[in-house]
């Protein structure tokens, strides 16, 4: 295996400039999740890129969400395949690229999505290509990329695509935003969300306030009840993150609404959360008010399975053997598409992308050298999968 690893590393080292150029091109293409047209252009560009690197690829098209992409390197063998997961949409609105295009300063790369996770897309495609170039033919490598990850796939069935493509795989690596601390993710909290609206009765606050039914007072009770459900020991947290209501200081408000974000550790906790939120919605504190509640987008948790632990051990061993910094294993509070491969029973490691900080903000950066290091790490792990 040593010779092949050597060839893989030589290939990655020889393509550094090409990888940087792809990264720059990718960051400089707008791909805010809500702009289907932008996202679709990136999907088409990546389809071409993957094909030029020797993959067979196809778009996964959606009417109302950004298209996804499946790219396959190598052919299916008697050994189970391996999956590389990720996304190419960003949280940034159209126009961000012209404000702050890709740039490199002092070994750090900047630009919208440079870390989350356009670096990861470059890493996975070149890791797969490097393996093929070195003559690796042990396992098919299946790259699955979403174009609507940042919004949680409300209008696509990418979750099903992730499940289908990862089914039967021996391992999956998600190239999401890596961490400067070198932590890798073996589990993730799941998220769910709710919008709760209260309708009351509006009257003049001075003339006959007793006839009013305050939607704000009703929702205030509900906010306190919801926040009180947070249980740090069980890893379930509730956050009322937005509140709106009322029109004037001297009117009893007949409208109030809140946005709720919930995080859970295990899939079963989602039912408990649903039940609790429903109970609070159904309980009336201010008689005469009416509450409605709608569940919004969410991502199921990525359970910390024994399979993930085994795969992490392999990644740690390979890291140490290569002389890279020893990674730590963490459970992250943020959701990702790794939930779907884990759900299919596939050992999965997340946060394998370039290392950096402050994604989802204009301070986002990625450490340039980690682009090559992580491509080598991923490829070396694939070469070692028989030891999983």
Contact between 299 and Zn ion (CB under 5 A)? no
Yes or no: say if 119 and 22 are a contact pair by the CB < 8 Å rule.
Answer: no
Angle at the Cα of 147 (from 146 to 149), degrees rounded to 5? Answer: 70
Contact between 215 and Zn ion (CB under 5 A)? no
User: Which residue's CB is nearer to Zn ion, number 214 or number 359?
Assistant: 359
- DSSP β-bridge partners for residue 185: 330, 350
User: Which residue's CB is nearer to Zn ion, number 72 or number 176?
Assistant: 176
User: Which residue's CB is nearer to Zn ion, number 133 or number 176?
Assistant: 176
Closest CA to 361 of 116, 118, 152, 182: 116
- DSSP β-bridge partners for residue 221: none
Shortest distance in whole angstroms from residue 134 CB to Zn ion: 29
Q: Which residue, judged by CB position, is nearest to Zn ion in the bound state?
A: 116
Distance CA 214, CA 251 (A): 9
User: Which residue's CB is nearer to Zn ion, number 29 or number 117?
Assistant: 117
- Output the DSSP codes for 309-362: HHHHHHHHHHHHHHTPPPPEEEEESS--THHHHHHTT--EEB--S-EEE-TTST
Shortest distance in whole angstroms from residue 79 CB to Zn ion: 29
Residue from the set 116, 163, 254, 373 that interacts with Zn ion by CB under 5 A:
116
User: Which residue's CB is nearer to Zn ion, number 148 or number 176?
Assistant: 176
Shortest distance in whole angstroms from residue 149 CB to Zn ion: 6
Shortest distance in whole angstroms from residue 34 CB to Zn ion: 15
Interface with Zn ion: number of residues (CB under 5 A): 3
User: Which residue's CB is nearer to Zn ion, number 85 or number 344?
Assistant: 85
Of residues 56-95, those binding Zn ion (CB under 5 A)? none
Shortest distance in whole angstroms from residue 367 CB to Zn ion: 17
Distance CA 130, CA 247 (A): 61
User: Which residue's CB is nearer to Zn ion, number 72 or number 149?
Assistant: 149
- Output the DSSP codes for 38-98: HHHHHHHHHHHHHHHTT-EEEEE--SSS--EEEEEES---SS--EEEEEE--BSPPTTHHH
Stretch that binds Zn ion, among 111-119, 211-219, 243-251, 322-330 (CB under 5 A): 111-119
Contact between 371 and Zn ion (CB under 5 A)? no
Yes or no: say if 150 and 113 are a contact pair by the CB < 8 Å rule.
Answer: no
β strands within the chain, DSSP E? 56-60, 68-73, 82-87, 103-105, 108-110, 141-146, 171-174, 178-179, 183-188, 190-199, 237-245, 255-264, 290-295, 328-332, 348-349, 355-357, 365-367
Shortest distance in whole angstroms from residue 161 CB to Zn ion: 17
Of residues 147-176, those binding Zn ion (CB under 5 A)? 176
- DSSP β-bridge partners for residue 357: 365
User: Which residue's CB is nearer to Zn ion, number 74 or number 147?
Assistant: 147
Contact between 185 and Zn ion (CB under 5 A)? no
Q: How many residues does the chain have?
A: 388
Shortest distance in whole angstroms from residue 262 CB to Zn ion: 20
Stretch that binds Zn ion, among 10-18, 47-55, 112-120, 282-290 (CB under 5 A): 112-120
Identify how many contiguous H helices and E strands the chain contains and give both numbers.
11, 17
Shortest distance in whole angstroms from residue 364 CB to Zn ion: 11
Contact between 117 and Zn ion (CB under 5 A)? yes
Q: Which residues bind Zn ion (CB under 5 A)?
A: 116-117, 176
């Amino acid at each position: 295996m040593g010779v092949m690893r050597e060839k893989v590393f030589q290939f990655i080292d020889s393509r550094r400039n090409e990888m940087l150029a792809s990264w720059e091109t990718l960051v400089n293409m707008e791909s805010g999740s809500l702009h289907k047209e932008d996202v679709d252009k990136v999907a088409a560009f990546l389809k071409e890129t993957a094909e030029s690197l020797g993959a067979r690829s196809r778009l996964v098209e959606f009417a109302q969400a950004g298209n996804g992409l499946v790219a396959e390197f190598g052919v299916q063998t008697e050994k189970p395949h391996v999956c590389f997961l990720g996304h190419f949409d960003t949280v940034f609105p159209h126009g961000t690229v012209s404000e702050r295009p890709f740039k490199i300063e002092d070994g750090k790369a900047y630009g919208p999505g440079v870390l989350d996770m356009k670096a990861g897309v470059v890493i996975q495609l070149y890791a797969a290509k490097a393996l093929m170039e070195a003559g690796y033919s042990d396992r098919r490598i299946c790259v699955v990329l979403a174009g609507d990850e940042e919004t949680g796939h409300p209008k696509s069935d990418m979750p099903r695509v992730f499940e289908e493509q990862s089914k039967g795989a021996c391992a999956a690596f998600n190239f999401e935003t890596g961490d400067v601390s070198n932590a890798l993710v073996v589990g993730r909290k799941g998220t769910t969300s709710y919008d709760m609206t209260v309708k009351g009765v509006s009257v003049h606050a001075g003339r006959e306030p007793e006839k009013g039914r305050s939607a704000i007072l009703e929702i205030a009770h509900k906010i306190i009840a919801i926040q009180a459900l947070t249980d740090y020991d069980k890893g379930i947290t509730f956050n009322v993150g937005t509140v709106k209501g009322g029109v004037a200081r001297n009117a009893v408000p007949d409208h109030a609404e809140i946005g709720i974000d919930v995080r859970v550790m295990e899939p079963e906790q989602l039912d408990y959360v649903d039940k609790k939120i429903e109970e609070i919605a159904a309980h009336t504190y201010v008689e005469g008010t009416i509450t409605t509640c709608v569940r919004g987008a969410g991502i199921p948790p990525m359970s910390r399975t024994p399979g993930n632990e085994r795969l992490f051990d392999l990644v740690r061993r390979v890291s140490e053997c290569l002389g890279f910094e020893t990674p730590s294993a963490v459970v992250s509070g943020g959701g990702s598409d790794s939930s779907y491969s884990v759900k299919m029973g596939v050992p999965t490691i997340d946060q394998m992308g370039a290392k950096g900080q402050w994604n989802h903000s204009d301070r986002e950066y990625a450490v340039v050298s980690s682009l090559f290091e992580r491509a080598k790490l991923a490829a070396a792990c694939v070469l070692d999968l028989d030891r999983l």
